[in-house]
Amino acid sequence: MAFEEYTYSGTERLRRGYTTGTCATLAAKAGAIALLTGKAPLTVSVMTPAGIEVTVEPTSVSLSADEATFGVIKDAGDDYDVTNGAEVRCTVRFIESGIDIDGGSGVGRVTAKGLDQPPGNAAINSGSRKQIQAAVQECLDMYDCLKGISVLVEVVNGEEIAKKTFNPSIGIEGGISIIGTTGIVEPRSLKALKDALDVEIRYQAAQGHKDVIVTPGNYGESFSLSLELPPNMPLIKCANFIGETLDCIAVNGFENVLLIGHIGKLVKVAGSIMDTHSRMADCRREIFAAHAAWCGASTETIHELFESMTTDACIKILDDVNLRDQVIDRIARAVQGAVDRRVGEFVRIGVIIFSNVYGLLAVTPEAQTIINDWNANSIEDADERKVNQ
């Protein structure tokens, strides 16, 4: 039974999906109906918090006098979601009173502070718990049942699926999370990515970290390994959301941030562009040309910069006229100024810029100070451990 709800990204028509939380709600409701009536429903429907109804045909039907188990297949629509196609199962049983919700096989278990659920709880977020509870209570009220119901949520192959998510790195072990605020998956949702960043930052703060490395992606992560930085320093991959990541870091009480990024991303930040996706802005050549002009570049060089297709090509042009160091230094200072303004007085921040072709391009004085302090503290900690042994 296809879920026919659509939205638009520009002129592209995209199909919505529904969350793991909605899947668990549907499976729990199907089980509750079966337990209360003695018959397995052929279809089951729930109204999501977004106001969109979802109707499915349950799978994995199992019914006895004491318990009922039903499954629902996750449909992520046109979103890129590793849980798409996963089967979420709920086993429901009568209990003396109330509604009890827990996770079983394939559902992660929270092991650290700073997440939606406290340590020890199943990783079933509060929004999904409310969805499940409301649907089960509706069934109890409909059939005038004075008993309670327990709901055990499981995910087939959930432990394997979880390896492709953030869960192992944020203190959720053994499976995926059952999540969803609205109950609906918005395809290619930027909000979902930002929410995941927020969770990771709050998790690192809850572990007591005050220092953090931020980088847009895998290139920055790999490059950071070549630098002499203390081991086990938390690293946040922020994609294009540099500004919002810095905001979240400031709010969560971090003290020192090292921003490490490829010149192709950070040159945009020099122009105070804090969402570096090309659909938001692409002024790389303009910024190179402006700073080159300030450094005395000829009209011919500026024309060449404007015609360049990549930042590495811009660097090659500047090398040919012996202006690379001057221009990169000005750009690095502009990036530093932009991120300083973003975090204000709340966080000390430094910037490192690199290129996959040319290697290390710039380390701002602020970044060097942070690195020196980190390394000094790391040596002190090592000495203290030796004394205590």
For 10, residues 6+ apart whose C-beta sits below 8 A from its C-beta are none
Report pTM.
Answer: 0.70
Per-residue model confidence (pLDDT) at position 239: 87
Q: What structural domains does the chain harbor?
A: 6-185 (3.30.2110.10), 196-383 (no CATH)
Residue (of 247, 171, 245, 251) closest to 215 by Cα position: 245
Element (H, E) at 215: strand 211-215
Distance CA 135, CA 185 (A): 19
Specify whether the CB–CB gap between 33 and 205 falls below 8 A: no
> Among the listed ranges 52-56, 93-97, 194-198, which one has the minimum average pLDDT value?
194-198
> Any idea of the CA torsion for 380, 382, 386, 389, to the nearest 10 degrees?
120
Confidence of residue 261 (pLDDT cuts 50, 70, 90): very high
The position carrying tokens 């039974």 is 1
Distance CA 272, CA 266 (A): 10
| Extended beta strands in 263-347, E state | none
pLDDT tens for 330-370 read 999 999 999 999 998 889 999 999 999 999 999 999 999 99
Residue (of 140, 134, 126) closest to 97 by Cα position: 140
Per-residue model confidence (pLDDT) at position 130: 96
Distance CA 275, CA 268 (A): 9
Grouping H, G, I as helix, E, B as strand and the rest as coil, residue 159 is helix
Element (H, E) at 333: helix 324-343
pLDDT tens for 277-318 read 877 888 999 999 999 999 999 999 999 999 888 899 999 999
Mean pLDDT of the chain: 91
